[in-house]
Amino acid sequence: MTQKKTYFLNMGPAHPAMHGVIRLVLELEGETIVSTEVEIGYLHRAFEKHAETETWNNVIPYTDRLNYVSPLINNSGFCGAVEGLAGVTIPERGQYLRVIASEISRVADHLTCIGANAMELGAMTPFLYLMEGREYLYQLIDDLCGARVTTDYTRIGGVKGDLPEGFIDKCRGVFPKIRKLVADSEALLTKNRIFLDRVEGVGVLSQADALAYGITGPFLRSTGVAYDVRRAHPYLVYDRLDFEVPVGSRGDNLDRYLVRLAEIEQSLRILEQCFAQLPGGPVSLTPWEMRDAFIFEDMGKAGNTALLSRCLAKTCRTIDGGGRDKAAGIRVAAPALVMPPKEETYGNIEGLMNQFETVMWSWGVRVPVGEAYHAVEGGNGELGFHVVSDGSDRAYRVRCRPPCLFIMAALPKLLNGGYVADVVATFGSVNMIAGELDR
């Protein structure tokens, strides 16, 4: 009587697929996977520990690097948690800007996921098409935030800077191109026999299992549950925006691909609505005199505060801080949390002290004692931040609830019983981001 012997295949941490570092130990019987063990932690960068040692605003660059394909969503999530703790609501324009930034980031996330997934299955062309689409978005993000990937755009109490000149027109010019590229990639993939054979019916997770594992996001929606944090717990201005939540039915790789594809279109819809609804803007120039911000300092030193009080600081629209004309729209007027506008900084001593206090180490932004949890809809699901403050200048504890940790915990269920070749297809469709998984 021959015994079936199993052997172990290590799909080691240096992963050929461009998803970062994760280790799968597969027990194989021939080509069929009998059991899987997932080992993570190869990109543990101590986010939660660093958040305890940095001041409140200094944590935001660390949040960029959590889900690094959609960094603006992480920024918004963290700042939302801290603002919930402080009990402030940022001004409307600032909320719209955060939504615009988040949705652009979400489109970039989905483009990357679909492109990388397709490339791993052998379809190189959709990858290049979608990377071109992502390149347009990176240029937009570059104009908005100053950086392409690690953006650090939001601040406690608002956003860093306003939209640059002509941003909305540029976006409107880019969206048809992205739609065309997505349509081209869809034409190459969705009805493609090879692609369908590899992803249809592969990597199936039932709805009950997905809920039991706490999975959220496109993964859960592909199993049929229409849970979207933007709908269930509306934050920022999502309750004023009209968008659909695409839902799949089978919970296989194909459904996840289709859900993400549909979400790209919904995100572009949200962006167009935001551009139409965007309130206010920098206040018009007359009758204030515009002077360069650095002139303010000289005027203040010379004691010419009377002149200062009738001028507006001319600052670049995207710069951190900025003049009074812009500050009201994008940052909440809470002296303990945000930097004052330049007219206040150079114009009176309270403003100057406020400016120093917000940036000095061991002074800084002050958030009241307490704990808060705020969740946003990340690219992979509910991205939650649990923030604990003890009233000092830095966070006491920041916990990031990573959506893809739960998907990785359920990965054995997805892979067992399938073939080794399906591992690549399934792994690509779950959009594991190691920065978020290991923090």
Q: Is 46 left (phi over 0), alpha (psi -120 to 50) or beta?
A: left
Cα of 383 vs its chain's centroid, Å: 9
Gyration radius from the chain CA atoms: 24
CA 159 vs CA 66, 94, 155: distances in Å: 19, 6, 5
388: Cα within 13 Å, side-chain hemisphere: 8
Stretch that binds another protein, among 127-135, 155-163, 194-202, 278-286 (CB under 8 A): 127-135
Work out whether 379 is an interface residue with another protein (CB under 8 A): no
Residues 384 and 196: their CA atoms lie apart, in Å, by 34
Does residue 83 belong to the site contacting another protein (CB under 8 A)? yes
Q: Among the candidate windows 94-102, 252-260, 279-287, 370-378, which touches another protein by CB under 8 A? A: 370-378
User: Is there binding between residue 409 and another protein (CB under 8 A)?
Assistant: yes
Closest CA to 377 of 212, 259, 230, 279: 230
Nearer to another protein, 94 or 282 (CB): 94
Kindly state whether residue 416 participates in binding another protein, applying the rule CB under 8 A. no
- Residue from the set 366, 395, 414, 425 that interacts with another protein by CB under 8 A: 366
Determine if 401 is a binding residue for another protein (CB under 8 A): yes
Strands (E), 80-210: 154-155, 158-159
Q: Which residue, 226 or 290, has its beta carbon nearer to another protein?
A: 226
b or e along 156-167 (b: 16 or more beta carbons within 10 Å of the residue's beta carbon)? bbbbbbbbbeeb
Among 106, 110, 134, 324, binds another protein (CB under 8 A): 134
Q: Does 146 bind another protein (CB under 8 A)?
A: no
Task: Using CB under 8 A, pick the residue from 392, 416, 419, 420 that binds another protein.
Answer: 392
Contact 116, 20 (CB under 8 A): no
DSSP secondary structure of 147-185: -SS----EETTEES--PPTTHHHHHHHHHHHHHHHHHHH
Q: Which residue has the tokens 């009990």?
A: 87
- Our finding on whether 377 is near another protein (CB under 8 A) is no
Among 18, 196, 290, 302, binds another protein (CB under 8 A): 18
Binding range to another protein, per CB under 8 A, among 26-34, 99-107, 275-283, 430-438: 430-438
Q: With contacts defined by CB under 8 A, how many residues of the chain interact with another protein? A: 95
Based on the shown chain and the rule CB under 8 A, indicate whether residue 386 belongs to the binding site for another protein: yes
Burial call 23-39: b when 16+ CB within 10 Å, e when fewer: bbebebeeeebeebebe
Site residues for another protein, 200-229, by CB under 8 A, read 207, 211-214, 224-228
Could you say whether residue 344 binds another protein (CB under 8 A)?
A: no
Residues 239-278 that bind another protein (CB under 8 A): 245, 247
Structure tokens at 159: 């956003």
Using the rule CB under 8 A, which residue among 11, 26, 59, 69 binds another protein?
Answer: 69
Using CB under 8 A as the binding rule, whether residue 382 contacts another protein is answered as: yes
59, 73, 84, 248: which one contacts another protein (CB under 8 A)?
84
CB of 113 to another protein, least distance (A): 12
Q: Can you tell me which of 6, 32, 35, 150 binds another protein, judged by CB under 8 A?
A: 150
Query: What is each CA distance from 434 to 63, 70, 235, 287, 297, in whole angstroms?
Result: 13, 13, 26, 52, 46
| Residue among 127 and 296 whose Cβ is closer to another protein | 127
Binding flag, residue 231, another protein (CB under 8 A): yes
Q: Which of residues 162-191 bind another protein (CB under 8 A)?
A: none
438 contacts another protein (rule: CB under 8 A): yes
Cα distance between residue 421 and residue 424, in whole Å: 6
CA-based torsion, 72, 74, 79, 84: positive or negative: positive
